[in-house]
Amino acid sequence: MIDILEDKIVKTRKDHNCWGCAEVISKKTNVKMVCSAEEGEITRTYWCDDCVYILSEIDNYDKEDGFAYGELIQIYNDYYREIKDV
Ligand SMILES: [Zn+2]
């Protein structure tokens, strides 16, 4: 069970890797940051615009358990191909 503590748009102060697709998000970019807690462990994840879009397209049911690092692009590869090729 994952508790979402924070979910907001932040300006990054250093480079981060997108949690969904593992691509580098360079510093001073506005990105979605989600701070969550699972079994007492706090995790901060950053999401690029492409991944935010994909998260908005998939059912809440599929997001319930969260995603491991880089897992989103593996599961929803077809989606990524669609939006990145446009
Ligand atoms: Zn991404």
Domain boundaries, the chain: 3-85
Q: What is the pLDDT of residue 86?
A: 57
Q: What is the pLDDT of residue 49?
A: 94
Enter the CATH code of domain 3-85. Answer: 3.30.1740
Residue 25 CA, ligand 1 centroid: distance in Å: 8
Kindly give, in sequence order, each residue whose CB lies less than 8 Å from that of residue 72, ignoring residues fewer than 6 positions away. Answer: 19, 20, 21, 51, 54, 55
User: Which residues lie at CB < 5 A from ion ligand 1?
Assistant: 18, 20-21, 48, 51
Question: pTM of this prediction?
Answer: 0.87
Per-residue tens of pLDDT for the chain, all 86 residues: 788 999 999 999 999 999 999 999 999 999 999 999 988 999 999 999 999 999 999 998 888 888 999 999 999 999 888 887 65
